Amino acid sequence: MKINGKNIHNNITAYLFLAPFLIVFSLFLAYPVIYSLVLSLHKVSWTTNLYNIFSDMKFVGFDNYIKLFHDSRFWWSLIVTGYYGILTIPLTVFLGLILAILLNNKLPGVSLFRSAYFLPSVLDILVVGIIWTLIYSPHFGILPKILDSLGFSAFMDKGILANPRTALPGVAIAMVLRGAGFGMILFLSAIQNIPVSVYEAAEIDGANAWQKLIYITIPLVKPIILFLVIMGTIGSLNAFTEIYSMTQGGPYVVEFMGNIQGATRVSGYYLFEKWETMEYGYAAAVSYVLLFITLGISLVNAKMMRKKN
């Protein structure tokens, strides 16, 4: 096969265009993934010389993973993460769908309301966390004062974020109201792509508004629901910024397996604590376990949605 100069030139040009992506991908994705896997199989702590980390790492095999499954704090963080996901994912999907249905009408000012509901989703989580911390503050927050006027004076003493029963729901409410706007936009675009003739045919058959929602709208927006559930699952397992900005994993008053645990110590924050204490090998093992949990849940969700379809 004869290769002429033009083909060689085209190949070189293609590789040159791919080179920036491959370099960025290797430096910022492939290398960290491989390096963290190596770390998870070694004992690397604050005593390790970070300037010569490869020579000082002690290979321990799967000891970090074995230790992880005997760690009560890790198991507690998974329980809290599951609770956090149960609080946030269904509410975010439900609220986003309801907002999309309500705003899928040609009413005066509907564009303004769409923008207003979508705006919180573009704010940084840290900013949202600080705002809601001020709203929840027992000293000058507006929400505790409203609750106090309604007879819930207990919220004025400790505050919502300092109460182990209400701290995580308080964080969840803030994140649901932040994320519902994003879901609203996705649902709205999907609903507007449903042919009007489908609804008209259903009306001729005598379907009411509820039946059209259950048998037409929801089945046709199931891909959006699946996407939001998967993204919500990933977000719950990686939740950190909202916890860091609002509760720092506390209040630390919950006892589990003989240890005092934080009421809002989710897995992402537990991972941060291990990096903060410079237990790098153990932290890498935690991150890989969370990765496989995320992949497993995402695959199960996708399979369930396909079966229903």
Q: What is the pLDDT of residues 252-298, one digit of tens each?
A: 887 787 788 899 999 999 999 998 888 889 999 999 999 999 888 88
pLDDT score recorded for residue 154 = 61
- The amino acid that residue 96 corresponds to is G
- Cβ atoms of 40 and 281 within 8 Å: the answer is yes
Q: Where in the chain is the domain with CATH 1.10.3720.10?
A: 71-276
Instruction: Point out the residues of the chain with pLDDT beneath 70.
Output: 1-10, 45-56, 153-157, 305, 308-309
Paired tokens of 3: 């290769």
Nearest to 217, CA basis, from 190, 183, 197: 190
Pair 34, 255: CB distance under 8 Å: no
Q: Two tokens at 210?
A: 């509820």
Cβ atoms of 132 and 115 within 8 Å: the answer is no
Separation of CA 37 from chain center: 22
Transcribe the chain into DSSP letters.
Answer: ----HHHHHHHHHHHHHHHHHHHHHIIIIIHHHHHHHHHHTEE--TTS-GGGHHHH-EE-TTHHHHHHTT-HHHHHHHHHHHHHHHHHHHHHHHHHHHHHHHTSS--TTHHHHHHHHHGGGGS-HHHHHHHHHHHH-TTT-HHHHHHHHTT-THHHHS-TTTSTTTHHHHHHHHHHHHHHHHHHHHHHHHHHTS-HHHHHHHHHTT--HHHHIIIIIHHHTHHHHHHHHHHHHHHHHT--HHHHHHTTT--EEEEETTEEEETT--HHHHHHHHHHTT-HHHHHHHHHHHHHHHHHHHHHHHHHHHHH-
pLDDT of residue 301: 76
Per-residue pLDDT, 85 = 96
Q: Please give the Cα distance from 262 to 281 (Å, whole number).
A: 23
Question: pTM for this one?
Answer: 0.86
Output the pLDDT for position 107: 78
CA dihedral 11→17→19→20, nearest 10 degrees, is: 180
| Largest pairwise CA distance in the chain | 87
Measured CA angle at 298 (ends 295, 302), to 5 deg: 140
Q: What is the pLDDT of residue 308?
A: 61
Q: How much is the pLDDT for 1?
A: 46
pLDDT given for residue 81 in this prediction: 96
The CATH-assigned architecture of domain 71-276 is: Orthogonal Bundle (1.10)
